[in-house]
Amino acid sequence: MGKAIAIFNQKGGVGKTTTNINLGACLAMKGKKVLIVDIDPQGNSTSGIGIRKRTLKHTVYDVLVEEDFNVKDAIVPTKTKNLDIIPASVDLAGAEVELVSIEGRERRLKKAIDSIRDDYDFIFIDCPPSLGLLTINSLTAVDSVLIPIQCEFYALEGVSQLVSTIELVKKNMNPDLYIEGVILSMFDGRTNLSLQVVQEVKNYFGAAVYSTVIPRNVRLAEAPSYGVPVITYDPTAAGSKAYIAFTKEFLERSKKAGKR
């Protein structure tokens, strides 16, 4: 049975989508069968992996809102072998309101994910930068949470709220939920600030922080505009090497992972 992981931080611009696409792609290139679920109304994972939103017949919106919808009908293969996606479109922005009147609204995504777990080794959910019903659905549907944190001044702002949200979902809807790990992104080794943030995050999360750090990298920022992971766009880039190293560490940790 595949492992489901939410990539979550209620702050925007911390590297959620970048991690979602590139960790997923690196795992797929290692022969793992991977599914990305884009549940962010901005749909950046969808466009960043090369899917044209206007051509989509079904999206994660249908999975959440349509009664008895077959989730397999929304799965789209990407250009990367072994990597599929359930895409998002602008319709998803209205799903939060529509879900309010639906019975069992917090578990709509869980039901869908559980039905396809056997088809994948890993399922990654790219959460929106908010604490609404879409995020609650995501946290209820997964085994664990991967938290990207950027190496910038306001990095730890809101982290206690983020952890409280995870604990709240754990208490009320998903008792086995745990933090998979914390990945530091946008690191600039030339600045004292980045080094200070790394230390502060390690002080807060302890052993949950991965030793691999994702650097600021031009190629990493350019790759989504070409609709491919950075490892495809430029395998020699610092961003590619970082995600390859992170994927190795992620796999080693994932085998040992348990409830923290």
| Bigger pLDDT: 257 vs 144 | 144
User: For 143-159, how does the pLDDT look when each residue is reduced to its tens digit (9 = 90+)?
Assistant: 999 999 988 877 778 78
CA torsion angle for 75, 81, 82, 87 (degrees, to 10)?
Answer: -30
User: For 63-111, how does the pLDDT look when each residue is reduced to its tens digit (9 = 90+)?
Assistant: 999 988 999 999 999 999 999 999 998 888 888 788 888 878 889 999 9
Contact 137, 107 (CB under 8 A): yes
Report the pLDDT value the prediction gives residue 94, as an integer from 0 to 100: 85
User: For 203-221, how does the pLDDT look when each residue is reduced to its tens digit (9 = 90+)?
Assistant: 999 999 999 999 988 999 9
Residue 257 CA, distance from chain mean position? 17
Mean pLDDT, range 185-203, rounded to an integer: 84
> What single-letter amino acid sits at 49?
I
Mean pLDDT, range 51-65, rounded to an integer: 91
Mean pLDDT of the chain, nearest integer? 91
- Our count of domains for the chain comes to 1
Spatial strand order in the sheet of 3-7:
76-77, 83-86, 34-38, 122-126, 3-7, 144-150, 178-187, 209-215
CA torsion angle for 71, 74, 78, 80 (degrees, to 10)?
Answer: 0
CATH number at residue 74: 3.40.50.300
Q: Give the predicted TM-score (pTM) of the model.
A: 0.93
Mean pLDDT, range 48-77, rounded to an integer: 92
Residue 250, domain extent: 3-256
* C-alpha to C-alpha distance for 133 and 150, rounded to whole angstroms: 24
Report the pLDDT value the prediction gives residue 257, as an integer from 0 to 100: 60
* C-alpha to C-alpha distance for 18 and 230, rounded to whole angstroms: 9
What is residue 148's DSSP assignment? E
* C-alpha to C-alpha distance for 29 and 66, rounded to whole angstroms: 33
Q: Is the pLDDT of residue 255 over 90?
A: no
Q: Are strands 76-77 and 209-215 parallel, antiparallel or unpaired?
A: unpaired
In degrees and rounded to multiples of 5, residue 38 shows phi and psi of: -95, 105
Mean pLDDT, range 117-135, rounded to an integer: 92
